[in-house]
Amino acid sequence: MIDLSKTIDLSTTYLGLKLKNPLVASSSPMCADVGNVRRMEDAGASAVVLHSLFEEQIEIESQELDRFITEGSELSPEAVTHFPELTHKVMGPEAYIGHIAKCKQAVKIPVIASLNGTTRGGWISYARQMQEAGADALELNIYHVEANSAVTGEQVEQRYIDLLKAIKAEIHIPVAVKLGPYFSSMANMALKLDAAGANGLALFNRFYQPDYDLEALEVVPNLILSNSHELLLRLNWVAVIYGQVKADLALTGGVHSATDVVKAMMAGARVAMLTSALLKRGISYLDTIATELLIWMGEHEYDSIKQMQGSMSRNAVPQPAAFERANYMKVLGSYAMK
């Protein structure tokens, strides 16, 4: 039997990093455990993005620290209500920095740190500490939900740009921005982030809407793992944005199989990131996907991942309108009534 891994080149690059394949473990609590990060490398991940360190974690910790020093108080009741995880200190900022260093020692694959916030402030200095701890790159997750109706879309966009610029001024390692799709002109937003210095764009954050608990009459968080259906939104925008920005595109959301990875590559992504698939099937599923990817490529006579990247982007396909309004009309028309 031919060893496909010897004849097919799965390598790619992302944020200037040379990766052995396009399978990256995206940011999740799984990556808070060094053993898991090592298992991800063993199962074939070409890089990992660590779970996020949140602006609120840093700001509250330092505020509480200030208060503790000046007044000797314990954690405030408000902080406990909004950030219950802080009461048992899962991984505070200092531990997070230490975790980066431990992961760097444990694995050879690149370790991408994740900083999660929305405003410019003192917390940004942790980007430098992450760099100093050895992070190969930084993923800046900007998850901003604007509930103030006086704030315009342009102001929201500027907030993203300002934050990115502030982070870029702090560090020299590559920075990818992870963001959601809900901009009036998503492609233009991508261009703006590109111009502001983003080395990569991780598309997309999932928008976690809260649910109602009707018995308790409370608004409750609601986390459902993804399925391959979520891939389609990402494919659409990766395919549209590909070729228009210098930044490398990462697809995150809805990658559950080797064919999902192929689609991500053809749309124009440099890497396909996985979280839900690994939470559902275990870290070793990375190995299954890598094997199935080789088999698929062998059967379809592809020699390399690079060869397929962008081959079905909007500009490469014969009907670019398929990514626009024409698709909407076609989709609605395609429904067959029973």
Ligand X SMILES: Cc1cc2nc3c(=O)[nH]c(=O)nc-3n(C[C@H](O)[C@H](O)[C@H](O)COP(=O)(O)O)c2cc1C
Positions touching ligand X (CB under 6 A) are 26-29, 51-52, 114, 116, 141, 178, 206, 225-226, 230, 252-255, 274-277
Q: Which is nearer to ligand X, 8 or 251 (CB)?
A: 251
Q: Which is nearer to ligand X, 232 or 326 (CB)?
A: 232
Pairwise CA distance, residues 205 & 182, whole Å: 10
Q: Which is nearer to ligand X, 85 or 218 (CB)?
A: 85
Residue at token pair 């003192």: 122
Rounded to 10°, the helix 285-299/34-43 angle is: 20
5 half-sphere exposure, CB direction, 13 A CA radius: 7
Give the shortest CB-67-to-ligand X separation in angstroms: 26
Give the shortest CB-337-to-ligand X separation in angstroms: 32
Q: Which is nearer to ligand X, 27 or 313 (CB)?
A: 27
Give the shortest CB-285-to-ligand X separation in angstroms: 11
Q: SS3 sequence, 184-235?
A: CCHHHHHHHHHHCCCCEEEECCCCCCCEEECCCCEEECCCCCCCHHHHHHHH
Give the shortest CB-338-to-ligand X separation in angstroms: 31
Pairwise CA distance, residues 273 & 115, whole Å: 17
Q: Which is nearer to ligand X, 67 or 281 (CB)?
A: 281
Give the shortest CB-24-to-ligand X separation in angstroms: 10
